[in-house]
Amino acid sequence: MYEQLKESGLTENEIKVYLALINNGSNLAGKISRLTGLHRRTIYDTTEMLIQKGLIGYILKNNRRIFSATNPNKLLENLEEKQAMLLPLVQQLKSKLDEKKEKEETLFYKGKQALKNIFEDQLNAKEILILGANSEAYKILQFYFKWYDQKRKARKIQTRIITHDRNIKRIPLAEIRYIHEKYNNPLAINIYKDKVAIILWAKEPIAILIKNKEISDSYKLYFELMWKTASK
């Protein structure tokens, strides 16, 4: 409980005072001081902070403050208020990050979750060219590709695939051509917009995403050459 309250943003002294009031009911500052081991001056400073946070209140009796804890739901309300206050800042930071990423030319991704960023980026393209597609990819991201192909179909994004792998399943809006199986390897190159994603389909997949129009155009020319020589 102590650690959870600390994670909610309370200080150690605030937690001690708050729990003392929760566990022992309403009390004067002197009694709270004895329960917590905190100096009386610290108790007054701490109770003032807890009052500002809406976690405790007090009544005056014979000109003395008797403190009591309020409904713990206030902890959740405080977190929601912080979230609402942080939202504009998070959006501003995200906007700056997106702007910076747009200028970056090379990004490195590692792991299944990270690779999904590349495929979701492809859903903004008009056409996707895949050189060296591998059915292993569908095993590694089995359930994800089902969702991805549905989204791609809904957005009418065409895909052309060159592969050695005859086990590649027919997928919507995709045309497949084949090269000799001697070219079998776990590497795939996805070309779309002004980007090239070089993906190694291993148990822990990795990818390099290059954002450069000249490089992308060069890969597209190479793909078209391979497309003419590949068999249907």
Query: Contact, 122 vs 144, CB < 8 A?
Result: no
Q: Could you tell me if 165 and 146 are in contact, meaning their C-beta atoms sit under 8 angstroms apart?
A: no
Q: Taken in order 94, 100, 103, 109, is the CA torsion positive or negative?
A: negative
> In the chain, which residues have pLDDT < 70?
99-104
Q: Decide the pairing of beta strands 106-110 and 56-61.
A: unpaired
At 31, give phi and psi (nearest 5°): -70, -40
Q: Say yes or no: 143 and 63 in one domain.
A: no
- H helix and E strand count, the chain: 9, 10
For the chain, the domain total comes to 2
pLDDT of res. 45? 93
Write down the pLDDT at residue 41: 92
Could you tell me whether strands 27-28 and 64-69 are parallel, antiparallel, or unpaired per DSSP bridges?
Answer: antiparallel
Is 82 inside any structural domain? no
Residue 45, domain extent: 2-74
Q: Please report whether residue 210 resides in a domain.
A: yes
Report H helices in 25-69.
Answer: 29-36, 40-52
Q: Does residue 200 lie within any of the structural domains?
A: yes
In a domain, 98, yes or no: no
pLDDT value for 54:
87
Q: How many residues does the chain have?
A: 232
Between CA 161 and CA 221 the distance in angstroms is: 14
Q: What's residue 66's pLDDT? A: 92
The SS3 assignment for 71 reads: coil
81 lies in a domain?
A: no
